[in-house]
Amino acid sequence: MAGLDWLTRRPIAHRGLHDLNGKCWENTLSAFDAAARAGFSIECDVHLSADGVPVVFHDEDLNRLCGRDGQIHLINAAEATALAIGGTADRVPTLREALALIAGRVPIIIELKGIAGRDDGLVAAVAAELDAYEGHAAIMSFDHHLVRRFPADAPGIPGGLTAEGVKTRDIEAHFAMLAHELAFISYNVHHLPNPFVAFVREKLKMPVITWTVRNQADKAQSNLFADQITFEGFNPDSMLA
């Protein structure tokens, strides 16, 4: 797709260039800075806080990453950004903080994490943060109700469908989403090949990235059927294939 060459130019660090939550944790400013310094694009996850601020966080629950009970969408941004990630010095960042740190050094692909009935305004809020951002950025989501909002709430921002599945009902549901001005697809590497990915890549000439590539075998599979990997746990620059 013209104008989206940057999306597939470099491997994409899944939730930043972390060390599988050893010392450098996922979706932190430290992981994002490490990715940018290494020249990798960045994938991150965003929820809407209780006061309508996009915060960078994967899970709905706080327990795995912050060691406390609660849900990310039920606390405000000030409370979220006070929470330590994995007991490290890193705190939950807002999307604005992440964008300021990355500062256009590498592309960023933002996955919007929806909670149906509790995410009104998420797409528009992310678009507002990207409005003045001087760097390559795209948005994507598993949640069809959010993807349907992309054209109206985030015009001009490349929007993608994050997807998986090989059953007929899965493939049919994905095909139905092509009516919503998609610019790219992010697909589970373990569910390739499939008719949907083949169609959008070969017939529509739409870029396809894969998730989550964790080893050489995954990377080889992605290379056969997609245009770029979203990776974690290894350095793809050190691999020959």
232 closest CA partner among 92, 97, 31: 31
For the cut 70, the answer to whether the pLDDT of residue 1 exceeds it is no
Q: Distance between CA 178 and CA 105 in Å, rounded?
A: 31
pLDDT over 90 percentage in the chain? 95
Q: What is the dihedral of CA 7, 52, 178, 169, to 10 degrees?
A: 110
- Collapsing DSSP to helix, strand or coil, 87 comes out as coil
- Collapsing DSSP to helix, strand or coil, 220 comes out as helix
Average pLDDT over residues 110-132: 95
Which DSSP category does 3 fall into? T
Q: Distance between CA 68 and CA 113 in Å, rounded?
A: 20
129: tokens are: 């943060």
pLDDT at residue 2, rounded to an integer: 45
Residues constituting the chain: 241
pTM above 0.85, yes or no: yes
For 18-42, write each residue's pLDDT tens digit. Answer: 999 999 999 999 999 999 999 999 9
Grade residue 238 by pLDDT with cuts at 50, 70 and 90. confident
pLDDT at residue 241, rounded to an integer: 44
Q: Are 197 and 226 in contact (CB under 8 A)?
A: yes
- Structural domains of the chain in order of their starting residue, each with its CATH number: 5-235 (3.20.20.190)
Average pLDDT, the chain: 96
Beta pairing class for 54-56 and 41-48: antiparallel
Grade residue 240 by pLDDT with cuts at 50, 70 and 90. low
Sign of CA dihedral 137, 140, 145, 146: negative
Which phi and psi (to 5°) does residue 178 adopt? -65, -10
